Amino acid sequence: MKISGWISVGLALGVTVVAGAQTGTQTAPPKPAPAPQTAPAAGQQQPALQLHNMGELPKADPFPVPNPKYFTADAPSVDTVNAFLKTLWGYDPNRIWRVEAIQKTTAPSVSKVVVFVSDKTPNAKVQPTAFFVSPDGKHAIAGDSVIPFGATPFADLRKMLQARSDGATRGATSKDLMLVEFADMQCPHCKEAQATMDNLVKDMPNAHVVFQSYPLVELHPYAYKAAAYGYCVQKQKNDAFFVYSAAVFDAQDALTAETGDETLKSAVTKAGLDPAAVDGCAATPATKAQVDASIKLAEDVGVEQTPMLAVNGRMVPLTGVAYDLLKTIISFQASLDGVSTGAAPGVAPPSLSK
């Protein structure tokens, strides 16, 4: 369930180009910032001429040669931008791009980055896309979305999730590859995503999989109480949580003012625990503080919709993404972080390019 805006799929996931990109086959950068220099000043960065991504590149260069006059900002560097885009898009060996401009703007220390994107198929369209980089060099802004920026943009979020995620867990004990599912037990899309999560647990043996409650209280009146019950179930027995949550998802339509309480208690009974004890636990300030802290964690890492999967800090929506593509992204992020998924060797989809 989406709650506010949409995390730019192009930046956060890389399935399409960055939100706000123009369509068509424009082959020149947008108008530069006022009074651009005609050549780089001493010590100023030079534009990179090579195409970027993995594997064999097309014989014909589809992009215009970058003009030095469009590189008026000292930061970020072309190398940093390419490392950032490699992290986002590098799972798709068919995608290619070139940085065409890094410009000063009228906002102090805010830079505008223009990138041309295409793929290796014959006569593929070239699409320009632009985003802004914050003065501290840690965030990219595209449309109404703000996401981490840098050569390793997800490293800080990965550390935060390793330290603060406290939901029920499945899979490996090591947090080297951490898949944190942010979900609301009254959210229909979260219910649909559970089969995907079950498959990931099977297919990614090295993954430490966490169910992190993110009740959208303004939309789902029983989600908060379901989350509180879940923490109390987890405290008694971690594995019982997944029996409980499955029962809640199965009876999701019964989470109403008339039958909601009995639905949650029935789910606790199916998990083999005492519903009266769990109900009492759920009403305590300590449990409510734990649910509030889980909501705060989701907000701090930038979750804007449920269900959302954090793959070592990289946010990937669990709706609208094919399972093979999801596994490819997880495997790619794991490789960037120097860890293994433990998955059996398989055949990747022949092309992931849009």
Cβ(76)–Cβ(113) under 8 Å?
A: yes
Q: Which fold would CATH assign to domain 157-336?
A: Glutaredoxin (3.40.30)
131: nearest Cα among 120, 139, 142: 142
pLDDT tens digits for 121-179?
Answer: 888 999 999 999 999 999 999 988 899 999 999 999 999 999 999 999 999 999 999 99
224: nearest Cα among 254, 260, 197, 191: 260
Quote the pLDDT of residue 46: 62
186: nearest Cα among 252, 262, 231, 245: 252
Quote the pLDDT of residue 273: 98
The helix-helix angle for 323-336 and 188-203 (nearest 10°) equals: 60
**Which segments of the chain have a pLDDT < 70?**
1-59, 346-354
Question: Residue 279: how many CA atoms within 13 Å on its side-chain side?
Answer: 12
Quote the pLDDT of residue 345: 77
3-state helix, strand, coil in the chain (%, to 5): 35, 20, 45
Residue type, 230: G
Buried b / exposed e along 55-69 (16+ C-beta atoms within 10 A): eeeeeeebbeebbbb
Classify 77 as helix, strand or coil: coil
CA–CA distances in Å: residue 345 to residues 16, 80, 175: 27, 32, 22
- H or E segment and range at residue 28: none
Q: Annotate 133-153 with DSSP letters as a single string.
A: E-TTSSEEEETTEEEE-SSST
How far is 103 from 168, CA to CA, in rounded Å? 46
Domain ranges of the chain: 9-151, 157-336
Quote the pLDDT of residue 26: 31
How far is 303 from 314, CA to CA, in rounded Å? 11
How far is CA 185 from its chain centroid? Answer: 20
- CA dihedral for 75, 77, 80, 85, sign (positive or negative): positive
Quote the pLDDT of residue 16: 38
- H or E segment and range at residue 5: none
